[in-house]
Amino acid sequence: MSPRTTTIAKAVNEGLRRAMEDDPKVLVMGEDVGRLGGVFRVTDGLQKDFGEDRVIDTPLAESGIIGTAIGLALRGYRPVCEIQFDGFIYPAYDQIVSQLAKMGYRSGGKLSLPVVVRVPYGGGIGAVEHHSESPEAYFAHTAGLRVVTCSNPADAYFMTQQAIRSDDPVMVFEPKRRYWDKGELDPAAEPLPLHAARVARPGTDVTVAAYGPMVRTVLEAATAAGAEGRSLEVVDLRSLSPLDLDTLVASVERTRRLVVVHEAPTFLGLGAEIAARVTERCFYHLEAPVLRVGGFHLPYPASRLEEEYLPDLDRVLDAVDRALAF
Amino acid sequence: MTVPVVGGPGGRPPQPPLVQLLTPEGERVEHPDYSIDVTPDELRAFYRDLVLVRRVDAEATALQRQGELGLWASLLGQEAAQVGSARALAPQDYVFPTYREHGVAWCRDVDPVTLLGLYRGVNLGGWDPAEHNFHLYTIVIGSQTLHATGYAMGVQRDGAVGTGDPARDTAVIAYFGDGATSQGDVNEAFVFASVNNAPVVFFCQNNQWAISEPNERQTRVPLYQRAAGFGFPGLRVDGNDVLAVHAVTKAALDRARRGEGPTFVEAFTYRMGAHTTSDDPTRYRIEAEVEEWKLKDPIARVKALLARTGQAGEEFFAEVEVEADRLAEHVRSACLAMPDPEPVSMFDHAYRDPHPLVDEERAWFEEYHAGFEPAAAAGEVQR
Ligand SMILES: Cc1ncc(C[n+]2csc(CCOP(=O)(O)OP(=O)(O)O)c2C)c(N)n1
Ligand SMILES: [Mg+2]
């Protein structure tokens, strides 16, 4: 396959397709993933090509999806579950947190649960409630789960396959408002490790760390800042559990300032954990406290307010200014 | 090996009988267990409700197409299931809807404009539930069935069942779809309602589809038969027959009010439109199926009965059309006039009592936005 320009949604589709071709034990399951190809068309064509045994339109029950995926995994399958929208993962929370995350540990390593849970997440699409949430911290907080998120088609393609190959359960958060963003994908390229962060844009004055949907926002902020003579280094975290702190710390040691950006509320979010750990490791390098830009301590608001709720270029630059002013 | 799957949209298993009082052709038929005496006034009132809610729905769909709503979930085809059941409610009864119950809302005197707020994105549900005994829409599939059951348990504890006083005895009705019956919450609601003998009616609009998934992906038995396993009665009614739905729901509500416990009503109907305005049903269902259901239209049969029996003439039908036009115009102009909320209002109501973190974030937000204003006034872009 040759290098090409594609979208995140199509890249996930190709990643799933490749994984299904490589391993007959890989299954895709979820609500409307078969005949319809998913509400975002991410699984488009898979049922047609791999059949109803391998691409399963499940009953409308998220706990059922994850619970039966666990059973299938115990029987040697590698299920890839789609949760239709972020806000509908909670009926499955018990199966994910109490069963999926812990079963390997409880078995003393005798059982492995190679289940992937794909979650389109985040806001910015003008949707009704429960369709715009960022629940990743709940899962990063849960030992036993790996949590990753892509920000571009290449990562979407490779992460999907790496997650499926992992013998641990992996939660893959897909930035739904970026599903149609285009980018380069070279299927023959050597992918980054699943849990590596990546410097998405080098800079010297402030490190801005983000993931998923906010990477593009932060890159745009970096361009705007560049035009005003400030050089931002953008780190795409990619993996939320484990965190690749080494890449981040190396960056912060150069720039001496860190702003962490995510859509999820800042209170007890990924930014809080990152701030604590980076401060611990970079205390004598830091010229300013680690600042966070994120959602407020509110339920996700009605969509006509979401532009005010969500971090945007201006809020990122405001935090950059504050970091530089210290 | 291929795992066998029953049925499929093309080859569905034969369907069990359903309660019907008005055939698709508009013939009144009798049923041994359910009868209904409808006066000409009542029949005309049903017709009016059906036409008006269909018209509101069409207007909302049009508003969505024009970008005035973010989304709309159409009730097209389900008018009789909603109007027939909701008109059986007493004022003190309480309703727990999904996101599609616009016809029920109408019968609970919720101004249709109010329904649009959620779909326009200016609020998360704009009406006062207590004012209408009509709860907020619930989008998370199935959750509200448990809320309805709990509410009914409260009704029981208040002694508001089985008194014989029609103004006091209270029933609760939970609306949900065929897809929802697969959710754990819904099955738990059945268990809680059953063991508590709660005064709740589980009203399932089986519109045959859960987005792209046909009934066969949720069940191998007719849904109403599930009730037996939980220990309460269930029955299937022609969901496009407003008279049968009314009779059946009234009987179930009366039973609940008498303190005799829950009932499962499966209103067998059809989703004539897309799941929502975001959906494209041509990807998963055949047009012939839709055509077949067009012949079972819930409004045409009432109109046929009214006309044939001389209970209404052209003048009445024309009047209802005029009223529908006026209502649609009201919905349209009020929707267009609906203001966007003040940004800072998003900090309201997360808690009833003050919360320091929310207060701090609100203060930051106000200060941050104040920083933009002078520049905006001067017409320059500033951060
Ligand atoms: C817990 C949950 N999972 C998934 C969804 C996404 N979703 C919205 S409507 C729907 C189908 C519902 O089908 P049904 O219960 O038959 O109701 P209908 O829409 O046909 O009225 C799905 C899967 C949701 N809203 N909530
Ligand atoms: Mg349905």
pLDDT in tens, B217-247: 999 999 999 999 999 999 999 999 999 999 9
- For A166-220, what is each residue's pLDDT tens digit? 999 999 999 999 999 999 999 999 999 999 999 999 999 999 999 999 999 999 9
Q: How far apart are CA A209 and CA A324, in angstroms?
A: 16
Q: How far apart are CA B239 and CA B268, in angstroms?
A: 5
On whether the CB atoms of residues A87 and A133 are closer than 8 A, the answer is: yes
Q: Express as a percent the part of chain B with pLDDT over 90.
A: 92
Q: Domain spanning B40-336 has what CATH number?
A: 3.40.50.970
Nearest to A304 among B122, B218, B358 (CB): B122
What is the band of B374 on the pLDDT scale with cuts at 50, 70, 90?
low
**Token digits of residue B329:** 């115009």
Q: How far apart are CA B135 and CA A162, in angstroms?
A: 45
The angle formed by the CA atoms of residues B312, B313 and B316, to the nearest 5 degrees, is: 80
Q: Considering every ligand atom shown, identify the ligand nearest to the alpha carbon of residue B100 and give its number.
A: 1
With a 6 Å cutoff on the Cβ, whether B209 touches ligand 1 is yes
Q: How far apart are CA A259 and CA A237, in angstroms?
A: 12
Cα Rg, chain B, nearest whole Å: 23
Q: How far apart are CA A96 and CA A58, in angstroms?
A: 17
Q: Please give the average per-residue pLDDT across A124-134, as a whole number.
A: 98
Q: How far apart are CA B171 and CA B151, in angstroms?
A: 9
Q: Which domains does chain A have, with CATH numbers?
A: 4-185 (3.40.50.970), 198-325 (3.40.50.920)
Chain B contacts of A58, Cβ < 8 Å?
A: 217
Mutate to test the pocket of ligand 1, among B71, B76, B138, B141 (most ligand atoms within 8 A of CB): B141
Choose between B352 and B379: higher pLDDT: B352
Please state, rounded to an integer, the average pLDDT across all residues of chain B.
Answer: 94
Domain spans of chain B, in order of start: 40-336, 346-382
Q: Please give the average per-residue pLDDT across A91-115, as a whole number.
A: 98
Q: How far is CA B350 from CA A264, A278, B174, B197, in A?
A: 16, 32, 26, 34
B214: left (phi over 0), alpha (psi -120 to 50) or beta: beta
List of residues 6+ apart from A49 with CB closer than 8 A: A17
What is the band of B13 on the pLDDT scale with cuts at 50, 70, 90?
low
What is the band of A47 on the pLDDT scale with cuts at 50, 70, 90?
very high
On whether the CB atoms of residues A146 and A121 are closer than 8 A, the answer is: no
- Complex ipTM: 0.96
Classify residue B39 as exposed, middle or buried by CB count within 10 Å of its CB (0-12, 13-18, 19+).
exposed
Q: Does B346 touch chain A if contact means CB atoms closer than 8 Å?
A: yes
Q: How far is the CA of A237 from the centre of ligand 1 (A)?
A: 33
Phi, psi of A267 (to 5 degrees): -60, 115
Give this prediction's pTM.
Answer: 0.96
- For A74-99, what is each residue's pLDDT tens digit? 999 999 999 999 999 999 999 999 99
On the CB side of A50, how many CA atoms lie within 13 Å of its CA? Answer: 28
Residue B11 has pLDDT above 60, yes or no: no
